[in-house]
A and B are shown apart, each in its own frame.
Chain A
Amino acid sequence: MIAFLIIFPLAAAVILYICKSDILNRSVTTLYSAIYLASAVSFTIQRPSDMEPYFMVDSLNVIFILVTAILYFGISLANISYFKDSDVPVKHQTTYYISLMLFVFSMNGFMLSQHLGLNWVFLEATTLATAYLIYFDKTNEALEAAWKYIFICTIGISFAFVGIIFISKGVGGSVEELFYRSLYLNAKSIDTFWINIGFLFIVLGYGTKMGLAPMHSWLPDAHSEAPSPMSAMLSGTLLNLAFLGILRVYKIMLAADDLFFAKNILLIMGFLSLIFSAAFILKIKNYKKMLAYSSIENMGIIAIGICIGGPAVFAAFLHMIGHSLTKASFFLTAGNILHRYKTKESEKIDSLMHNDYKTGTLWLLSFISIAALPPFPLFISEFMIVREMIGQGRITLTVIFLLLLTIILYGIASTIFRMLFGNRDNSPGEHFYDGIFLYLPQIMFLVLLLIMGVYIPEPAMKILNDAVSMIVPK
């Protein structure tokens, strides 16, 4: 099963390249997303073992696979109508779908691989696969964003490589020793000097990819220039992936009983992310960029949740899932707005509710979710993190945390509400495509969020608890 999941996108990419057919593009990617979703669900019950020891499903990555599968399925649906009334030639559309396939391939490889070096290679592959997607609109801004993305992420990845060299030095330099399983087993015997410095470099590297400050500067541009379904994909899945990479290495630190350093590094980076997004989000005029800053903020919250420990680790996982679904819904809706108004500047848009109540409602609901208001799951996760912070007596930290969140919320809310309300009839007169797939994925994501916010079903709870038990001290 794993072999199929990994090979299918590669084969599909070749077929799409040869055929260059519009219908085939859409049907193959949608078909694969459905298969992927079905297998991700089946992984929660039965874990395949066909590609051990290199690729495996374990308690930690199954949750990431599931989130990626749900998002990818929704985004494939959105893709069906994405090119409906655009004048992009089929050749370029095909390249879009091929890049998407390669992107999914490298993400699969990354999530499933159980080897530090292999993991690194696949993360680099995600950068290459997504670069074209960011450059897709072929404007000067898109070129700049894509270049910034490749350059900063490649430097980050090189840092991670240095970290891997350090860790491999610590375990004695052989390739077999870099399997996570053996790293966890031998963690106690690794020299703490190597493991700490290795962790630092890997967190700097993967943190770049995750969008943690101060290495986040590629993220706002890349997420705002990419086509909206791809922004949703980048924000909802790729950031999580880097987080998975960090968790894997964090677990080595846990196994080595050396968490102090790791926790502090993540805590500092988490708070820096909040500070950077609070500082920039108030002045942002581009609503897609604003969403990107919100992603940086949420990655910061997740990193903080992991450092606080205890119930906050559970909260961090919940937050990751909630953020992925919300942000995907948000970016897809932003795509609808862009499609309708042909501008990314929030000041040129108002009366959205009046002119297009469907998009307006989705925009509002996504906002309520990202604002962490009940009944959405982000409320539960942020509440748990704050409660745990207070429980540990970190009052100053809590106050700063809440203050920063409030500033960010104010920044997002003022933009969103300005866009939503008003009575001006400013609907562009020209005809534009309107169809079910512009709304269905967002509705699907929001319904899932509502379910999770009201009541987390037993199987989902078990998956979450299993993942948490992987990275909390016993």
Chain B
Amino acid sequence: MEILIIFFCITMLIISAVSRIEEYIKMLAVQGFILFLMSVIEFRNIDITHFVIMVLETLGIKTIVMPMFLMYIVRKNEITRELEPYLSNFYSLLITTAIYVAGLFISFWVSGAAHDIRPLHFGLSIATMLAAMFIIVNRKKVITHVLGYMIFENGIFLLSLSMAGEMPIIVDLGVMLDLESENL
């Protein structure tokens, strides 16, 4: 379980360091798959309808449908790389790392207070949301903003995993789809 969240953080670091948009989308798919594995391990004992919905959401939408759709848009519009982000890749890697260190501190902080949650997931999910906000602020292209928002959603999903028992709501993904079609 812990190894998965470490992989998740690695994908975030890769996203902050590369500039090819197709690379982002691949990482997004990887994140979706990691979330799928995590939720399968987490929710072994829930009833079948919830399980199916969850698998559809993580494996179906987050891992397959959305990345393919984004890839289709990227190819159709011939967007290849994120030109000139406001900060260079090196600095954004540094900043993302700093955000994750802060996330670890949050983990330590909540683990002391016994709030009945998984501290590591909690801290790192908050860091993921912050890192996603940073990606949105730092990049200029609309497609990267959308990707940033998807990562933000993954952060929320991770957060709800940290609070065992909370079912992530699918509504947001529907919204996301709307966003895409409206824009492009």
Does A162 count as interface, using CB distance less than 8 angstroms? yes
Q: Report the contact-size class of chain B (Cβ under 8 Å from the partner).
A: 20 to 34
What residues of B have a CB within 8 angstroms of the CB of A117 in the complex?
A: 169
Q: Which of B113, B159, B172, B179 contacts A151 (CB 8 A)?
A: B179
What residues of B have a CB within 8 angstroms of the CB of A194 in the complex?
A: 115
Chain A proximity mask over B107-142: 1 for CB below 8 Å, otherwise 0: 000000101010000000000010001001000001
Chain A proximity mask over B125-164: 1 for CB below 8 Å, otherwise 0: 0000100010010000010010001001100100110010
Residue of B nearest to A151 (CB): B145
CB within 8 Å: A-B pair count: 52
State whether A158 and B152 are in contact (beta carbons under 8 Å apart), knowing that A128-B175, A150-B179 are contacts in the complex. Answer: yes
State whether A158 and B156 are in contact (beta carbons under 8 Å apart), knowing that A151-B149, A165-B166, A169-B166 are contacts in the complex. Answer: yes
B179 & A154 in contact (Cβ 8 Å cutoff): yes
How long is the Cα–Cα vector from A355 to B165 in the complex, in angstroms?
A: 66
B152 & A155 in contact (Cβ 8 Å cutoff): yes
Does A58 count as interface, using CB distance less than 8 angstroms? no
Does B49 count as interface, using CB distance less than 8 angstroms? no
A131 & B182 in contact (Cβ 8 Å cutoff): yes
What residues of A have a CB within 8 angstroms of the CB of B41 in the complex?
A: none
A124 & B159 in contact (Cβ 8 Å cutoff): no
Q: How far is the CB of A247 from chain B (nearest CB, A)?
A: 23
A165 & B160 in contact (Cβ 8 Å cutoff): yes
Does A161 count as interface, using CB distance less than 8 angstroms? yes
Does B183 count as interface, using CB distance less than 8 angstroms? yes
What residues of B have a CB within 8 angstroms of the CB of A131 in the complex?
A: 182
Does A374 count as interface, using CB distance less than 8 angstroms? no
How long is the Cα–Cα vector from A169 to B136 in the complex, in angstroms?
A: 28
Does B1 count as interface, using CB distance less than 8 angstroms? no
A165 & B172 in contact (Cβ 8 Å cutoff): no
Does A52 count as interface, using CB distance less than 8 angstroms? no
Q: How far is the CB of B131 from chain A (nearest CB, A)?
A: 14
How long is the Cα–Cα vector from A391 to B179 in the complex, in angstroms?
A: 49
What residues of B have a CB within 8 angstroms of the CB of A154 in the complex?
A: 149, 172, 175, 179
How long is the Cα–Cα vector from A193 to B117 in the complex, in angstroms?
A: 13
What residues of A have a CB within 8 angstroms of the CB of B153 in the complex?
A: 158
A173 & B166 in contact (Cβ 8 Å cutoff): yes
Does A208 count as interface, using CB distance less than 8 angstroms? no
Q: Which of B115, B133, B142, B175 contacts A147 (CB 8 A)?
A: B142
How long is the Cα–Cα vector from A72 to B133 in the complex, in angstroms?
A: 36
B171 & A165 in contact (Cβ 8 Å cutoff): no
How long is the Cα–Cα vector from A165 to B145 in the complex, in angstroms?
A: 24
How long is the Cα–Cα vector from A40 to B5 in the complex, in angstroms?
A: 51
Q: How far is the CB of B144 from chain A (nearest CB, A)?
A: 12
Q: Which of B115, B152, B165, B178 contacts A191 (CB 8 A)?
A: B115
What residues of A have a CB within 8 angstroms of the CB of B178 in the complex?
A: 128
State whether A193 and B160 are in contact (beta carbons under 8 Å apart), knowing that A121-B171, A128-B175, A150-B182 are contacts in the complex. Answer: no
B179 & A158 in contact (Cβ 8 Å cutoff): no
| 20 A-B pairs whose Cβ atoms sit less than 8 Å apart in the complex | A117-B169, A124-B171, A131-B182, A147-B142, A147-B183, A150-B182, A151-B179, A154-B149, A154-B172, A155-B133, A155-B136, A158-B149, A158-B153, A158-B156, A162-B156, A165-B156, A169-B115, A169-B166, A173-B165, A193-B115
* 9 additional contacts (CB under 8 A) given A150-B179, A154-B179: A117-B169, A131-B182, A151-B179, A165-B160, A168-B166, A169-B115, A169-B166, A173-B163, A173-B166
Using a CB–CB cutoff of 8 Å, the interface residues on chain B facing chain A are: 113, 115, 117, 129, 133, 136, 142, 145, 149, 152-153, 156, 159-160, 163, 165-166, 169, 171-172, 175, 178-179, 182-183
